[in-house]
Amino acid sequence: MLATQIVKLLHPRLRLITVSRFYGVWDLYTEIILGKRWLRLLFNFVVCAALYLRSSLKIITNDGTHGDKALSHIRPSSMKSLCFYVNGVDEYSIDRSDLIGLKNSLNIGNMFSAVCITRLVSSKRVDLCIKVTAAVVNKYGILDFKLIVVGDGSERERFEKLAGDLSVANHIVFVGAVDNQCVKNYLTVSDIFLSTYRISNVGNPLLEAIRANKIIFTVNNGDTSAWIMHRENGFIYDENDSMVDRMAHDIVDLISNPSLRDRIKKNIRITEREKLWTWKERMQAEFSDINKLVEC
């Protein structure tokens, strides 16, 4: 964007159409701007400058990190050029024979199971999912419960050690990184989806879980509450010292309450139908807005 501003300065009569694109703003708004951490703001100068500089269209991915609010703070006048799009999630079909093989390999049988899908790094807080599993198994005595952890990363060894320290190593399967096309299979064989990210939980895994009509357990940060309503179409929790136990308690309640499971699944199907885009729909919206600029 800086280059285009220089070109405009040198050639003021030249008509330029510019589009700037952001894949979210991570913690720029929630921690740096709201927390007034000005030194960290300096280290994010490139992103801030890109948001500040004018462009014909600013496309920011709505990943729950409040990119729209970051822009409104940095350059309010640019809000009129903002396109705030959520990512698309394509519909898919499942090969039932693949599911049988996967369930056998995971050794989950008819067990009630949870899945988390993430890079194994500290900001994704898989340790909370492990602690929830420990509470379900050790505090509430649900021995036929298993957590499936899909993904890999630098913190895997620490998470595996934590599972051992909490005496739930036999109740957690670390499957490592898998091809993105296979993620849907892990969602399908699981009963619930856990997401405990630090900044926002409105990432692709949560959207894919909605597409799969999973019962979602997540944390109330970022824009997550715009998607999940507690005990309506999922479970969402404010962060405090009792959060892990409350999540575990609600999982146990869910296991023993088929009518609650049915109601939440019905409501998450409504959420899928009303709020999710396919990638084709997502890209068509973007192309449409760009074409309007070109045609003017």
Q: With cut-offs at 50, 70 and 90, classify the pLDDT of residue 17.
A: confident
Residues 260, 263, 266, 270, CA torsion sign = negative
The candidate with the shortest Cα–Cα distance to 242, out of 167, 131, 147, is 131
Closest CA to 196 of 126, 268, 115: 126
pTM of the model: 0.90
pLDDT band at 259 (very low <50, low <70, confident <90, very high): very high
Domain ranges of the chain: 2-88+277-295, 96-275
Q: What is the DSSP letter of 29?
A: I
Please state which CATH number belongs to domain 96-275: 3.40.50.2000
| Statement: residue 115 has pLDDT above 80 | yes
- Cβ contacts of residue 230 below 8 Å, gap of 6+? 236, 237
H or E element at residue 253: helix 243-255
Q: What pLDDT was estimated at residue 194? A: 98
pLDDT tens for residues 119-130?
A: 999 999 999 999
